[in-house]
Amino acid sequence: MKSNRLKGIFFIILSAAGFAGMSAFVKLAGDLPSFQKVFFRNLISTIIALYLIIKHKGSFVGKKENRKLLLWRSIFGTLGVIFNFYAIDKLILSDANMLNKISPFLVVILSAIFLKEKINSKQVSMIIIAFIGALFIIKPTFSIQIIPYIAGILGAMFAASAYTCLRAIGGKEDYYTIVFFFSVFSMISILPIVIMVYEPITITQFIYMILAGIFASIGQFGVTLAYRYAPAKEISIFDYTNIIFSAILSIFIFGVYPDKWSIVGYFIIFTAALYMFIYNKKLDSSEKISDN
């Protein structure tokens, strides 16, 4: 239904704004260990998800048959957030977030391999083009400066793996159960490292981390609700508004502008995403006609 599609678009844009806000507050929190930031981010999500589970009398650990997928989703998701936070700390905000947006293309590959979803030459071509766009952002060199960009790519790869697990789970679990399972797993698994690398934080940093957690929750719940109302191929293009939000925040909060090659990279990746969106719409239309 059209109204559901509009709801899906609204929630995906809300999610994009939430994750952009999270990235900004993570960066504003300063030179704290990435693991410490990830812990705070998931602590807020856990509290919100816990409230929703209690309110709706939902499950804390999900159905037995889904726990293996929930566990893998949590492992990949935790690694994705750690690498993404490291990239956010070291790179221009919009660069870090744009690299993370390679994940939708990687989901296509992983879904074809593990979920046996069909993939064609046009989709493969767009994936290759997206990686070319990423190279314009990365501007590869054989120096230590490339490490944050590699972290950004790894973050996207693990995020794509987590999203593939979510696709496999489908509607078999409540969204708040999935978020709670992931957030608690993430906190428990990184707690020993957090204790080892813990650095005292100021009141200002604490406030920034709480705000990062709140905005991360908006992003996480927003994207989950968006895909309940509309399929990914119809609304995923709107997730790229995150880059617009991030670029605006980079300019107005940090006074940092992306360079011309990064802008070329944004344009290439966004164009590839737009083509995928239009192509999937046409594919849907042709499938409906053939079904009739």
pLDDT at 202: 95
Query: How much of the chain exceeds pLDDT 70, in percent?
Result: 93
pLDDT at 142: 60
At 102, the pLDDT band (50, 70, 90 cuts) reads: confident
Which residue in this structure is represented by tokens 């998800």?
A: 49
Q: Mean pLDDT of all residues in the chain?
A: 86
List the one residue out of 176, 27, 12, 168 whose CA is nearest residue 92. Answer: 27
In Å, how far are 107, 155, 214, 230, 234 from 8, measured between CA atoms? 19, 25, 21, 5, 9
Give the residue with greater pLDDT, 119 vs 53: 53
pLDDT digits (tens, 9 = 90+) for 233-291: 667 778 888 888 888 898 899 898 888 998 998 898 888 888 877 887 776 677 566 65
At 51, the pLDDT band (50, 70, 90 cuts) reads: very high
**Whole-angstrom distance, CA of residue 230 vs CA of residue 226:** 6
8 A C-beta contact, residue 245 and residue 77: no
Is pLDDT above 60 for 83?
A: yes
Give the residue with greater pLDDT, 97 vs 280: 97
Beta strands in 95-214 (DSSP E): none
Is pLDDT above 70 for 68?
A: yes
Q: Which two tokens stand for residue 232?
A: 């990914």
Kindly report the backbone phi and psi dihedral angles of residue 82, in degrees, each rounded to the nearest multiple of 5, phi listed first. Answer: -60, -50
- Average pLDDT of the segment spanning 153-162: 92
pLDDT digits (tens, 9 = 90+) for 220-237: 888 877 877 776 666 777
| Choice among 8-12, 85-89, 113-117, 172-176 with the minimum mean pLDDT | 113-117
pLDDT at 292: 57
pLDDT at 94: 80
Report the predicted TM-score, pTM, of the whole model to 2 decimal places.
Answer: 0.81
Apex CA 277: angle with CA 271 and CA 280, to 5°?
135
pLDDT at 281: 74
Task: For 111-128, give one letter per residue: b (16+ CB within 10 A) or e.
Answer: bbeeeeeeeeeebeebbe
pLDDT at 226: 82
| Choice among 37-41, 196-200, 256-260, 282-286 with the minimum mean pLDDT | 282-286
Give the residue with greater pLDDT, 230 vs 145: 145
At 35, the pLDDT band (50, 70, 90 cuts) reads: very high
pLDDT at 26: 93
pLDDT at 287: 59
